[in-house]
Structure 1
Amino acid sequence: MADNGKPVIIFDTTLRDGEQSPGVSLTVSEKLEIARQLARLKVDVIEAGFPITSPGDFAAVQAIAAEVRGPVICALARAVRPDIERAWEAVAAAAKPRIHTFIATSPIHMKHKLRKSPGEVLKAAVAAVELARSFTPDVEFSAEDATRSDPEFLIEIFSAVIAAGATTINIPDTVGYTTPEEFYRLITYLRQKVAGADRVAFSVHCHNDLGLAVANSLAAVAAGADQIECTVNGIGERAGNASLEEVVMALRTRADQYGRPAGVHTPEICRASALVERLTGMPIQPNKAIVGANAFAHESGIHQDGVLKERTTYEIMRPEDVGLSAGRLVLGKHSGRHAFRERLAALGYNLSEAELDRAFARFKEVADRKKEIGERDLEAILQAELPAETSELVLESFQVTSGNRTVPMATVSVLLRGETRSEAATGNGPVHAVYQALNRAVGLSPELREYALKAVTAGGDALGEATVRLGWEGGIYTGRGLAPDVVEASARAYATALNKLLNARRKPGGKPAALAEGAR
């Protein structure tokens, strides 16, 4: 057990590996919003993207580098000159820039994907690090598929890239293949055998294909790893990545085992989780550790009795430690603008006057239909009603006629680029009818890839939250809507997704590009 007292470096790759989740496509403004929250969370490194993959990804990394201060801002690049030069161009404005370059090292990857010999891979890795180092002193090198690589080749390539100037070496479990015991042995062996190991940070990047990403990451820390690469909510390729909130809270809660905390400001965890859930459209299961709806809920009578007598009987963490609270301050329809502003400030929101006007108007609208507005309601209202996208489409009104012996019909009125349009349509149900009418209003028929509905808060007047994903010409567009009425929430979600689609069509190069081959 390595207990050197050094804090574990938290490297967040939500905006890079997380966005590689099937069906997720974030806009520049959405990525910037998540990056701001990651800075409030005080992660050490933000991997902002893979700039060579598309103009949009480059623009997002560049915008984050120019604005976000605090964390290191990192860009990913394959071990080739165009990638590295593009990565540097994207992060050059950052106060603390990093280039992260990678190449595959496992026999199966080198033979079938790269079609290169180990000697060619070694040469490319060294050249890539030397080039990256000519731009910035902070260079990370990653051996893709390291856990299926020959450990002796890993020693050779890591020793060479350290000599070339790498300051962090990353050992990724790219396909989620290793186990905690095996990974512990590998990290220990590499730290002992790699030349110059004492001069660099050892990093790990674990995928969750066998459900072991967090366990493997913690085993690596126990073996002396310095950095964990992870994502908010554990999102990412296939089964996802090590979950940031689980890693951080495990290090904090079991400090007796690891003796190495993370510098993350944990009360911002739940807000980061909710933001990523909203913008990616990837819902969190109720029993998700740390941030799931049931994470601090107790239904069993024995558990309830124990918690009421002494919280620690069944709770190993405090809800407040991750940003949850009872939401005791309740607002209602008689609350004024000043109280509303003060409550938002207490929650960490600093809105412009225009944003405050819009949020307050929506708050009043909801408060007229819901008796009490608690903290979770406020968070949900703000997240749903303050999109960063330009409003190509605004849903002004809708009306639905439905019943068990009538064909559902909907009429909608929208503002499309300043022009009012009204359309009507029938459907299989009231929500489907609204969607058909909205399609007619904009003159498009995207594919509805996903539709989900849930209650945000408890009670008969709970706010309903709808999430939709639309597919159009290779892009995926996510929308979220919130209202006490589920049909209205569904209509708002669809209109938001359509608005994103229209924005993407309006911008040059707005269509998402295919991800560059070989992203870990």
Structure 2
Amino acid sequence: MLQDPSSKYQPFPPVTLVDRQWPNRSITKPPIWMSTDLRDGNQALFEPMNAERKLHLFSTLCDIGFKEIEVAFPSASQTDFDFVRQLIEEHRIPDDVSIEVLTHAREHLIRRTIESLQGARRAIVHIVNATSKPFRELVLAMSKADVVAMAVSSVHLVKQLIAEHPETEWVLEYSLEAFTATELDFAVEVCDAVSAAWDATPHNKIILNLPSSVEVTTPNVYADQIEWMHRHIARRDSVILSVHPHNDRGTAVAAAELAVMAGADRVEGCLFGNGERTGNVDIVTLALNLYTQGVSPGLDFSDINAVARTFEHCTQLPIHPRHPYAGDLVFTAFSGSHQDAIKKGFAAQKPDSVWNVPYLPFDPADLGRSYDSVIRINSQSGKGGIAHLLESQYGVVLPRRLQVEFSGVVQKHTDNHGGEISAADLWQLFSLTYLDTVKPVQYVEHHLFEHNSGQSIRLTLEIDGISHVFIGEGNGPIDASVQALRGIGMDFKVRSYEERSMDCSADARACAFIAMAPFDSHCEYFGVGMDTNIVTASIKALVSGINRLAVNAVSSG
């Protein structure tokens, strides 16, 4: 049992922001996206990516549409330094993409970082410096004044070094590491000192990044912190306000969305939430959340499977099958009630109309996903899902009562065998149950002829392997067939009859469904027949029903 947490953990103090505006806002345009998959994401891997995998992922990020990509921590290792040089010297950076590199606020690290970027068309130098009280006291042993002085001196050094490389368009990003645990008045002091040292203007903006380096509170408090900074920092028109949420509490996506409502212009994160500890904010989820609200996210995930497979290859990390939007099972319903609702939603959905399918807030086709895996069958499935698969995969539209009957057959099969049943296995089970029934009666052929004012039929059947001919008369071929089949010695009544075409082509097969019951029983069983001729399909359905009556009579007896 967990101990009483009240003496060990204290709730995070709220922000004094009585007239907060973010709860009344909506996101109407995407933020500036910055992918840190190759830096923050890479350093979180069991085995960091080699050059080949980093290049592959970099190319994918460019194809998706990222215009800012943090590619390395070049002062931390020769491998990262060499990767930056490879991107620049081999001209692998598209003209509309800016690479970003990280460095701590130390002179020798900053010099090494600027060296790695020589010859780049446009580069973002990202300096990070911890500002919270625990870091100041426990890690850095620095006062507030010391922290501000370090930040300002770092900016001055960057300005000095980049002046020697006018061929590059330089942008500065400054991150207040552990911002969420930093006193807000001190955070704004550091930000204002840094933007003043950079001489930030509307034409020479600075990126001020306010990360939840460790997620320590609820998303609404983070939004309050961002709105407070948005209101109080100097030179706001010269600042790109950025956020970098981590997912320690599992609420990074919500924190990022609320931060954008609170005034953030830019979001840093990784594909599928990769990153230190529980990960960075998931940019795939953020972007597609926007898309579902009718806002174009500026990132292209129209082939989400290709992006997912590339990510898994490059990082050697699996994507959870229930991951939002991208998981292999995220558009899959096993539950019977879910399947029924989805089936009805698909039937009602009109092309080019607003998407409105129950349990599917997102059209899988927009991500390049097919509908084949939306409904899958296991022991939890119901008639709606089964009917959907037979209709979508094989063109067989089952009457509702037959849906109920066959779902019991499927349930028994999955209970006995366990696991999932594929569409092909489902069709095989349907065929064995209804279409391929030849015992005790097997259809051979029939001949129709007029008789008086009605219809007569000469029906040839095999019963237990012996050929028999039966004659029947009725007001039509189906009634005549029913009368002929009474000659086999079984008393039955036809409860209902339906026929449907399986497609619209000239040689389309017809499908007939006949519900039958013994005269002395209320137990109803369906027979199903298929043929290019509707009369033949109907006779086959009658024979199928008789066989099912016979089999069930034996099993119940």
Does TM, normalized by the shorter one, top 0.5?
Answer: yes
Q: Does 1:271 align with 2:306?
A: yes
Question: For 2:234, what is the secondary structure of its paired residue?
Answer: coil
One-letter amino acid of the counterpart of residue 11, structure 1: M
One-letter amino acid of the counterpart of residue 282, structure 1: L
Equivalent position of 1:308 in the other structure: 343
1:320 counterpart (365, 387, 390): 365
* 1:93 positional shift: 3.4
Task: Go from structure 1 to structure 2 and tell me whether the alpha carbon gap of 1:314 and 1:86 turns closer, same or farther (over 3 Å shift).
Answer: same
Bigger mean CA deviation after superposition, 286-295 or 81-90: 81-90
Equivalent position of 1:50 in the other structure: 73
Equivalent position of 1:252 in the other structure: 291
- The C-alpha deviation readout for 1:462-517, integer Å capped at 9, x for no partner, is xxxxxxxxxxxxxxxxxxxxxxxxxxxxxxxxxxxxxxxxxxxxxxxxxxxxxxxx
* 1:102 positional shift: 0.8
Q: Does 1:91 align with 2:117?
A: yes
One-letter amino acid of the counterpart of residue 315, structure 1: L
Task: Go from structure 1 to structure 2 and tell me whether the alpha carbon gap of 1:110 and 1:458 turns closer, same or farther (over 3 Å shift).
Answer: farther
Distance in 1 of aligned mates of 2:154 and 2:368 = 41
Question: For 1:267, what is the secondary structure of its paired residue?
Answer: coil
Which structure has more RCO (C-alpha within 8 Å, separation ≥ 6)? 1
1:131 counterpart (157, 161, 165): 157
Instruction: Please say if residues 30 and 296 of structure 2, whose CA atoms lie closer than 8 Å, have aligned partners that are also in contact.
Output: yes
Distance in 1 of aligned mates of 2:306 and 2:284 = 11
Distance in 1 of aligned mates of 2:29 and 2:195 = 21
Distance in 2 of aligned mates of 1:73 and 1:194 = 26
Distance in 1 of aligned mates of 2:304 and 2:67 = 14
Distance in 1 of aligned mates of 2:321 and 2:177 = 33
Task: Go from structure 1 to structure 2 and tell me whether the alpha carbon gap of 1:459 and 1:144 turns closer, same or farther (over 3 Å shift).
Answer: farther
Question: For 1:51, what is the secondary structure of its paired residue?
Answer: coil
Q: Does 1:193 align with 2:218?
A: no
Distance in 2 of aligned mates of 1:151 and 1:132 = 26
Q: Does 1:262 align with 2:297?
A: yes
- The C-alpha deviation readout for 1:7-56, integer Å capped at 9, x for no partner, is 31111111111112241311112111100000000013110010111111
CA RMSD of aligned residues (A): 2.4
Distance in 2 of aligned mates of 1:148 and 1:191 = 17
One-letter amino acid of the counterpart of residue 216, structure 1: A
Task: Go from structure 1 to structure 2 and tell me whether the alpha carbon gap of 1:92 and 1:265 turns closer, same or farther (over 3 Å shift).
Answer: farther
Equivalent position of 1:59 in the other structure: 82
* 1:57 positional shift: 1.0
2:189 counterpart (130, 135, 156): 156
Query: What does 1:454-469 correspond to in 2, within 5 Å?
Result: none
One-letter amino acid of the counterpart of residue 366, structure 2: D
Q: Does 1:102 align with 2:128?
A: yes
Structure 1, unmatched stretches of 5+, are 329-456, 461-520
Task: Go from structure 1 to structure 2 and tell me whether the alpha carbon gap of 1:308 and 1:90 turns closer, same or farther (over 3 Å shift).
Answer: farther
Instruction: Please say if residues 142 and 170 of structure 1, whose CA atoms lie closer than 8 Å, have aligned partners that are also in contact.
Output: yes
Instruction: Please say if residues 51 and 58 of structure 1, whose CA atoms lie closer than 8 Å, have aligned partners that are also in contact.
Output: yes
Instruction: Please say if residues 191 and 208 of structure 2, whose CA atoms lie closer than 8 Å, have aligned partners that are also in contact.
Output: yes
One-letter amino acid of the counterpart of residue 59, structure 2: R
Instruction: Please say if residues 35 and 64 of structure 1, whose CA atoms lie closer than 8 Å, have aligned partners that are also in contact.
Output: no
Distance in 1 of aligned mates of 2:424 and 2:180 = 49
Query: What does 1:39-438 correspond to in 2, within 5 Å?
Result: 39-65=62-88, 66-69=91-94, 70-134=96-160, 135=162, 136-165=169-198, 167-255=206-294, 261-311=296-346, 312-325=357-370
Task: Go from structure 1 to structure 2 and tell me whether the alpha carbon gap of 1:145 and 1:288 turns closer, same or farther (over 3 Å shift).
Answer: same
Alignment: residue pair count: 329
Distance in 2 of aligned mates of 1:138 and 1:109 = 27
Question: For 1:147, what is the secondary structure of its paired residue?
Answer: helix
Instruction: Please say if residues 8 and 261 of structure 1, whose CA atoms lie closer than 8 Å, have aligned partners that are also in contact.
Output: no
Question: For 1:153, what is the secondary structure of its paired residue?
Answer: helix
* 1:223 positional shift: 0.5
Instruction: Please say if residues 27 and 260 of structure 2, whose CA atoms lie closer than 8 Å, have aligned partners that are also in contact.
Output: no
- The C-alpha deviation readout for 1:361-380, integer Å capped at 9, x for no partner, is xxxxxxxxxxxxxxxxxxxx
- The C-alpha deviation readout for 1:304-338, integer Å capped at 9, x for no partner, is 2322332422211122333434699xxxxxxxxxx
TM-score for the superposition, normalised by structure 2 = 0.56
Question: For 2:33, what is the secondary structure of its paired residue?
Answer: strand
Distance in 2 of aligned mates of 1:158 and 1:266 = 35
- The C-alpha deviation readout for 1:95-133, integer Å capped at 9, x for no partner, is 321111110000111122222211111111112223334
One-letter amino acid of the counterpart of residue 76, structure 2: T
Q: Which runs of 4+ in 1 moved over 6 A?
A: 457-460
Question: For 1:97, what is the secondary structure of its paired residue?
Answer: strand
Higher radius of gyration, 1 or 2: 2
Distance in 1 of aligned mates of 2:60 and 2:228 = 37
Instruction: Please say if residues 168 and 202 of structure 1, whose CA atoms lie closer than 8 Å, have aligned partners that are also in contact.
Output: yes
Distance in 2 of aligned mates of 1:317 and 1:95 = 39
Instruction: Please say if residues 364 and 371 of structure 2, whose CA atoms lie closer than 8 Å, have aligned partners that are also in contact.
Output: no
TM-score for the superposition, normalised by structure 1 = 0.60
* 1:90 positional shift: 2.4
Distance in 2 of aligned mates of 1:31 and 1:234 = 17
Question: For 1:264, what is the secondary structure of its paired residue?
Answer: coil
Equivalent position of 1:465 in the other structure: none
Structure 2, unmatched stretches of 5+, are 1-21, 163-168, 201-205, 347-356, 374-421, 426-557
One-letter amino acid of the counterpart of residue 140, structure 1: E
* 1:459 positional shift: 8.8
Question: For 1:206, what is the secondary structure of its paired residue?
Answer: coil
